Structure 1
Amino acid sequence: MALTGAMMQARGAVLPTLEGFFVVPEWQLGLVAPAGTVGYLLVVVVFGTGAGHFDARRLLAVGAFGAGVALLAMGLAPSFLFFLGAIVVRGAMTGFLRGLDRPLLSHLYPSNRGRLFNLYDGTWAVGAASGPLAVVVALRLGSWRLVYAALAVALFVLAVLFWRLESPTVESKEQPLTRARLGELLRQPEVIALLAALFLVTGVEGGLFTWLPYYANGELPGGWAEVTLTAMLVAYVPGRFAYSALTERVGPLNLLIGVLGLLLPAFAFTFFVADGLWVLAGVVAVGLLISGVFPTMMAYATDAVPEYSGPVNALATGTASVAVGSVPAVMGVVVGGSDAATAMRLLLAPLAAALGVVVLARIGEGRRAAAEAGGSPTVDD
């Protein structure tokens, strides 16, 4: 999980360098995110919906090894088109890892999904914070290509570990997913809320991951722009640990309503009002608040249908992938036609919509609970 975070965030941090190295316009840089989504989405949906029917250990080993090969190709890319092609392959190989990780965790620890999902995604945040720093170190050493070589070596080691480890024993089992059951699953209120909220919030995250360093170059003093994305991602670590501690105490939807309610003014301040180093402070606050939305919503929906954790994970990850791939591409068009500040400010709208989705989900949850309580049989003394 930490390595997938590092891979993803190194991509955004290296964009300003790639622009000059390959001499490409902004709209082509916006293709980096959707290129990583194409193969990733297909593999996650196919293998995620069939979780429990495949040899997870072997698929994880194949995914890690294949991602390492693709990263080597990215580091050796002679052209931007070749670089994009390697990203497509890397995304597909990463899909094996991400399509099976949460279903395995869900069945290994069925009673603590909210806490475990946030802790698990906290390791992603550690890796994600390391990715931009690795790019900075690689540039200081002489070439952006070095960061991809280092990540490839780490994935080769991980592939060997997956191959040699024994398959774990799980506490619960994944149920076969039929076409009829898939339709029922897509009509579950918790799943509908999950997909809607995740599309909106992960789209914002994808935009920040891809374009924040570019935006910061025009807003912060020299030297500070390079650490902006890292600062936001470092804030993900305590943020996800805080979500992990709070989600079982106050409930996932209550927690999300409070956090998203705070996120809106923090985001507005950062990209509408702040200047200079106040932008950096605002970015840290945004990272702290937005960090746990994805894993908390995942745990909320998985708790509703625990026997279908694989399909829920596949649907959520696929939805998030589409958002992470499409929103930066749209922002690239906005940046090319206007500027990065305008593109960033437009992200406030999906955050407000996400809050509305979570509020509606909480109202629906309360009504269902009241209906169940009202319909339960009573026993006379």
Structure 2
Amino acid sequence: MEHTHDSVRTATADTRRWWTLVIFAYVALEGASLQMRGSVVPVLRESFGTPDWLLGLVAPAGTIGFLVFVALTGAIAGRVNTRRLILFGIAGTGASVFVVGFTPSFAFFIAALFARGSFGGVGRGTDRPLLSHLHSGDRGKWFSYYDAMWAVGATIGPLIVTAALWLGDWRYAYYTLGVAFLPVVLLVWWLPTPSIDGDGDDPLTLDELKRVGRRPEVFVMIAGILMTTGVEGALFTWLTTFAEGRVPASFVTASLSVLLVAYIPGRFAAGALSNRIGSVRLIAGLAVLCLLSTVYTFFVASGVGVLVGLFGIGFSLSGQFPTLLAYSIGAAPEHSAPINSLSLVVSTLGIAGVPAILGFVISDAGIELAMQLLVIPLIVLVGISIAAWVRNGTAVEWQ
């Protein structure tokens, strides 16, 4: 005979699975929409006669809105209904992506990207904290799976643009992706309020902000994410430049795809290992593997060997962000949203700042030295992870 508490437990588990599906679907679609913008830049030049200096506004347009609203979302977490907030973020992101397709001018395109980034900040500022509370016992695993889904979407995004151009109009890509958000919106509307462990996020006060800010786990996260995303930003920006003349001509453009494709198995592997070996062990192991892969790629390898090294970098680098974030949130799970927002702000600074610095190095000393300098933040990352390991031991901190 089935007991009432068994039925309740089953319903709770089903609700948790559906909400996890919502979060994964959203982050994949958001990743696709983010990576599509770079693919349409050449088309914008042709469609609107936009000069290169104006095309440089494409990336900041979405990033500024994202940073502002992800920070605001983290600040108000615990005071606003999570269900309404994530519905607002998902619906707004989908609608703004769809509106991009109606672009009559470059100025309209920039405004639509700003809206997409703003709504994305609300969605991304809410979805991972919700995932944290849905799976509080194994955050590291689910955070890695979350980022793996983002990587899947990011890989597919440029392919959607390619298909749209083959059909005759880049706008088809945004129409298609915008419509793809609709089932996710309807699912959020239909689902009951998510069942989470504990009471979710507590309201953030000034005293709580000071307490959380003094946690050593938060310092480790900030430093670690700044190093890893700085390396990512440098590779995303300058890798194809480095590949020219160093790998077969047919693989120059694909070199970045090799790096990104490695993110998918890398993040699933990090998720599978997170509970088995502990966060600090995993961070340290991945950091050492990434450092060795970087040394091989930019100091030793040539030809196809560069691609092998890039796969190793992508595989080991990809698991750092979710593991560092899970490690930090484990120290203050009642403030998952503010810590998540902080991690996204820091990652944006790393992705934007390091490529700019390397630009000066490249202009003076060349691309090879610039790429070799990436070992510096990775050495720092190894040091940070070992220090955290020595301080915390080998326990699984987020439990």
Per the TM superposition, whether the score is higher than 0.5 is yes
Q: Which moved more, 1:250-259 or 1:54-63?
A: 54-63
Residues 367, 156 of structure 1: alpha-carbon distance in 2 compared, 3 angstrom cutoff: closer
Q: SS in structure 1 opposite 2:330?
A: helix
Distance 1:159 1:252 in 2: 34
Q: Which runs of 5 or more structure 1 residues have no equivalent in the other structure?
A: 370-381
Match of 1:50 among 55, 76, 87: 76
TM-score, normalisation: structure 2: 0.81
Q: Which moved more, 1:84-93 or 1:191-200?
A: 84-93
Match of 2:286 among 259, 264, 267: 259
The amino acid that maps onto 1:169 is S
Deviations 1:64-121 (A, max 9, x none): 2322333345445455554444322211110111111121111112111111211222
1:202 match: 229
Deviation at 1:294, TM superposition (A): 0.6
Distance 2:167 2:364 in 1: 35
Match of 2:379 among 325, 343, 352: 352
Q: Which moved more, 1:307-316 or 1:31-40?
A: 31-40
Match of 2:303 among 249, 259, 276: 276
Residues 108, 287 of structure 1: alpha-carbon distance in 2 compared, 3 angstrom cutoff: same
1:375 match: none
Contact 2:77 2:202 in 1 (8 A): no
Count of aligned pairs: 368
Map residues 208-357 of structure 1 onto 2, 5 A cutoff.
Answer: 208-213=235-240, 215-216=242-243, 219-331=246-358, 343-357=370-384
Deviation at 1:314, TM superposition (A): 1.5
Residue 89 of structure 2 is aligned to residue 63 of structure 1: yes
Residues 367, 108 of structure 1: alpha-carbon distance in 2 compared, 3 angstrom cutoff: closer
Distance 1:19 1:275 in 2: 34
Residue 10 of structure 2 is aligned to residue 10 of structure 1: no
Map residues 105-144 of structure 1 onto 2, 5 A cutoff.
Answer: 105-144=131-170
Deviation at 1:218, TM superposition (A): 5.9
Q: SS in structure 2 opposite 1:304?
A: coil
Deviation at 1:143, TM superposition (A): 4.3
The amino acid that maps onto 1:141 is L
Deviations 1:188-235 (A, max 9, x none): 000111011111211222333344455546654454344333332221
Contact 2:96 2:116 in 1 (8 A): yes
Residue 186 of structure 2 is aligned to residue 165 of structure 1: no
The amino acid that maps onto 1:264 is L
Q: SS in structure 2 opposite 1:171?
A: coil
The amino acid that maps onto 1:348 is V
Residues 367, 73 of structure 1: alpha-carbon distance in 2 compared, 3 angstrom cutoff: closer
Q: SS in structure 2 opposite 1:232?
A: helix
Contact 1:206 1:325 in 2 (8 A): yes
1:35 match: 61
The amino acid that maps onto 2:74 is G
Deviation at 1:157, TM superposition (A): 3.6
1:155 match: 181
Distance 2:118 2:355 in 1: 19
Distance 1:348 1:109 in 2: 35
Distance 2:248 2:148 in 1: 30
Deviations 1:140-176 (A, max 9, x none): 3344443333222222443333233322111212222
Contact 1:200 1:354 in 2 (8 A): yes
Deviations 1:10-43 (A, max 9, x none): 3345556666765644x76555433322111111
Match of 1:192 among 210, 216, 219: 219
Residues 31, 283 of structure 1: alpha-carbon distance in 2 compared, 3 angstrom cutoff: farther
TM-score, normalisation: structure 1: 0.84
What's the RMSD between the two structures over aligned residues? Answer: 3.1
Higher relative contact order (CA 8 A, sep 6+): 1
Distance 1:81 1:340 in 2: 33
Distance 2:306 2:162 in 1: 20
Identical columns (%): 43
Residues 24, 353 of structure 1: alpha-carbon distance in 2 compared, 3 angstrom cutoff: farther
Match of 2:205 among 153, 178, 182: 178
The amino acid that maps onto 2:144 is N
Distance 1:347 1:24 in 2: 32
Deviation at 1:260, TM superposition (A): 0.9
